[in-house]
Chains A and B, each alone.
Chain A
Amino acid sequence: MDFDVNYLLAQWPALFAGLLMTLRVSLLAIGFSLLIGVLGGGVRALRVPLLGPAVALYVEVIRNTPILVQLFFIFYGLPAIGLELSLFWSGVLCLSLWAGAYQVENVRGGLATVEWGMHEAAFALSLRPWHYFCLIALPIAFRTSLPAMLNTAISLLKNSSYLQAIGLAELTFVAVDRIATDFRALEMFSAICVLYLALVALLALAAGRLAAHLQRPFRP
């Protein structure tokens, strides 16, 4: 077997740059997708006229079309209507919109588990609807939907590798680019698998910490 560790060590600076790019794109998109999820999930749960159905349509379109097509639509399609984004922001937009659709459903699912009694109690105390939504319903929902939100965030991180298709220099792009010149496919793909696994593990660890924190009030 021919596995050249020294080759990988020599390529580390390039891989590290790719890793950083993957991390930057993914973290930004995770943030934006959560924002989309909270706003969209709220609009869906509160059955806001017009906006509710619009969000539902968005969710259906995203969930039932290939992410690669969405990416090409953003990168190659949008400039035709005068909306030209950089490589980086095209990537962020694509991943945010993709994961946002799933986060909408996650938040909506969490909100559906909040007992109606919470709403009545808030109402009886004269709290305003936005108090109820932001201070009571969302935090309670967040705790129930955190595992699903984490799954979506992990999928987003993995799907960031599609961005190599438009030439963004993230982790997968760096690997494929190197393999084209050095033909060290086994080493490169092994290396980026390990790096993706490490990123996912870090994300899960952070979410686990957060879950434990959110769980605290509910333990007897």
Chain B
Amino acid sequence: MSRVLQVRGLRKHFGEHEVIKGVDLDVEAGEVVVIIGPSGSGKSTFIRCLNSLEAPSAGDVQVHGGSAAHAGDRKALAKLREEVGMVFQDYTLFPHMSVLANIMLAPVKLGRMNKAQARDTALALLERVGLRHKAEGYPAQLSGGQQQRVAIVRALAMKPKLLLFDEPTSALDPETVNEVLNVMKALASEGMTMVVVTHEMGFARDVADRVVFFDGGRIVETGPPAQIFSQPAEARTRQFLASVL
């Protein structure tokens, strides 16, 4: 298996406050890694370092064996970003653009595709998430679950090697959570490499190849879901799972 992501000695501090305290993580092609942990433990900060939304204070992030981003290397960080897609908690669709325009923007402006190709790609992806009929609509006309599915498509249109999710269902109404989780499941089964921060333990159990328990800026424990959920090795993991399950 080829390695898509390699993180070594990652640290991040905001001023005096160290939030990520030395994290190593490898993700193989096609793997789905789910990160769980209490809020404030640094999960968002960590995942944001993976596409250089936050510049690491120390350590390095390497994607696909290609572009390594060492702390402080801005050019490499920008290159890294092109290979990594990201889906945020609050969708962040561009409100003044149609669904189609949202999806086509980056591939066209970055010269990845011409307009016709980008349009075909966008429509095909929308079809897959069941939103082909909303292509001409605007974000404000969609439900939260629909907006999040569009956000996933927008990230996919750049053909990322790795897709990051930061609590993609936390802002959704309970009845629309599943429509987004189902899209993510489908992506996982098609072999998309994903790192997902979520509180959806059911998703972690069913879809993850590996669960990472994060606390206090460190990886406390990692393993296949069956192991983490039924026989966690660490007391802190047990405590956390008891509080959420």
Q: Which A residues contact B (CB, under 8 angstroms)?
A: 115, 117-118, 120-121, 123-128, 131, 135-136, 139-140, 143, 214, 216-220
Contact A140 B106 (CB under 8 A): no
A143: nearest chain-B partner, CB-CB: B96
Task: Please report whether the interface of chain A is mostly helix, strand, loop or mixed according to DSSP.
Answer: helix
Across the interface, A126 reaches (CB within 8 A) one of B94, B98, B110, namely: B110
Chain B residues closer than 8 Å to A140, beta-carbon distance: 94-96
Between A and B, 16 residue pairs with Cβ closer than 8 Å are A117-B90, A120-B88, A120-B92, A123-B81, A124-B86, A124-B155, A125-B154, A126-B78, A126-B110, A126-B158, A127-B110, A131-B105, A135-B109, A139-B96, A140-B96, A219-B141
Contact A135 B86 (CB under 8 A): no
Query: Is there a chain A Cβ closer than 8 Å to B85's Cβ?
Result: yes
Chain B residues closer than 8 Å to A216, beta-carbon distance: 138
Residues 140-167 of B at the A interface (beta carbon under 8 Å):
140-141, 154-155, 158
Chain A residues closer than 8 Å to B88, beta-carbon distance: 117, 120-121, 124
B79: nearest chain-A partner, CB-CB: A126
Chain A residues closer than 8 Å to B92, beta-carbon distance: 115, 117-118, 120-121
CA distance A127 to B82 in the complex (A): 9
Query: Is there a chain A Cβ closer than 8 Å to B186's Cβ?
Result: no
CA distance A123 to B97 in the complex (A): 17
Across the interface, A218 reaches (CB within 8 A) one of B82, B84, B110, B140, namely: B140
Query: Is there a chain A Cβ closer than 8 Å to B53's Cβ?
Result: yes
Chain A residues closer than 8 Å to B93, beta-carbon distance: 121
Contact A126 B81 (CB under 8 A): yes
Q: Interface 1/0s, chain B 49-85, versus A by CB < 8 A?
A: 0010100000000000000000000000010011011
Chain A residues closer than 8 Å to B155, beta-carbon distance: 124-125
CA distance A214 to B96 in the complex (A): 8
CA distance A199 to B98 in the complex (A): 35
Q: How large is the interface on B (under 10, 10 to 19, 20 to 34, 35 or more residues)?
A: 20 to 34
Chain A residues closer than 8 Å to B158, beta-carbon distance: 125-126
Contact B95 A217 (CB under 8 A): yes
CA distance A76 to B92 in the complex (A): 52
Q: Which 7 A-B pairs have the closest CB atoms?
A: A121-B92, A125-B106, A217-B138, A124-B86, A117-B92, A126-B82, A139-B96
Contact B81 A124 (CB under 8 A): yes
Known contacts A126-B78, A140-B96; A220 and B140 CB within 8 A of each other: yes
Chain B residues closer than 8 Å to A214, beta-carbon distance: 96
Q: Interface 1/0s, chain B 8-29, versus A by CB < 8 A?
A: 0000000000000000000000
Across the interface, B85 reaches (CB within 8 A) one of A124, A127, A139, namely: A124
Contact B140 A126 (CB under 8 A): no
Chain B residues closer than 8 Å to A117, beta-carbon distance: 88, 90, 92
CA distance A161 to B190 in the complex (A): 69
B48: nearest chain-A partner, CB-CB: A120
A123: nearest chain-B partner, CB-CB: B53
Beyond the given pairs A120-B88, A124-B85, A127-B105, 13 more chain A to chain B contacts, judged by CB atoms under 8 angstroms and listed by A's residue number, are: A117-B92, A118-B94, A123-B53, A125-B105, A126-B78, A126-B110, A127-B106, A139-B96, A143-B96, A216-B138, A217-B140, A220-B140, A220-B141
Chain B residues closer than 8 Å to A139, beta-carbon distance: 96
Contact A217 B96 (CB under 8 A): yes
A120: nearest chain-B partner, CB-CB: B53
CA distance A214 to B154 in the complex (A): 23
CA distance A136 to B101 in the complex (A): 12
CA distance A220 to B147 in the complex (A): 13
Chain B residues closer than 8 Å to A120, beta-carbon distance: 53, 88, 92
